[in-house]
Amino acid sequence: MATLEKYHKSESTLRINRYFSEDFKRKKVREVESRVTTIRELSREYSVSETAIYKWIYKYSGMRKKGIKMVVEAKSDTRKIQQLKEMLNEAETAVGQKQIMIDFLEKMIELAEQEYGVEIKKKFSLGRSNGFGSIVKRTRSK
């Protein structure tokens, strides 16, 4: 015969039903809104699903009642965006410095041309050249 002990779960595997008061939920929602803690941290600390915490936010958030949308963004995304902005600023600085150097060198070439009366800067012509100074048409002879 089957014993009742088989059907009873041990105390360690039983899930304990917990109840969080409304004050507790409101307090945790305010902490998330003021960025004191994150949803993931609350989930781990209190063993509550992130879905449940989002429901708390939906229900108790003061911002939601005012019609304000709150963007919840992972810290890693924020850090990545900040790094990209810094890289963009560095690139813009480097381009600006290179442009200053180009302007300086062009002015030096212009002054050298005036001083020595020699054409230093290559002038580009519109016609194409074969490299021999004149365009030669070649025909095949039979």
If one counts the domains in the chain, the total is 2
Centre a 10 Å sphere on the Cβ of residue 58 and count the other Cβ atoms it contains. Answer: 10
Round to whole Å and give the CA distance between 93 and 98: 9
> 84 and 51, same structural domain?
no
Q: What is the pLDDT of residues 59-113, one digit of tens each?
A: 888 776 555 565 555 555 667 778 889 999 999 999 999 999 999 999 999 999 8
Domain of 52, in residue numbers: 18-66
Q: Is residue 107 part of a domain?
A: yes
Same domain? For 39 and 58 the reply is: yes
Q: How far apart are CA 88 and CA 95, in angstroms?
A: 10
Cα separation, 53 vs 126, in Å, equals 70
Whether residue 54 is found in the same domain as residue 81: no
Nearest to 60 by CA among 90, 100, 33, 40: 33
User: Is 58 a residue whose pLDDT tops 70?
Assistant: yes
Q: What is the mean pLDDT of residues 107-132?
A: 78
Q: 67 or 115: which carries more pLDDT confidence?
A: 115
Q: Are residues 32 and 56 in the same domain?
A: yes
Share of the chain above pLDDT 90, in %: 25
**Selection from 39, 21, 34 nearest residue 62 by Cα:** 34
Within-domain flag for 61: yes
Residue 5 belongs to some domain of the structure: no
Q: Is residue 140 part of a domain?
A: no
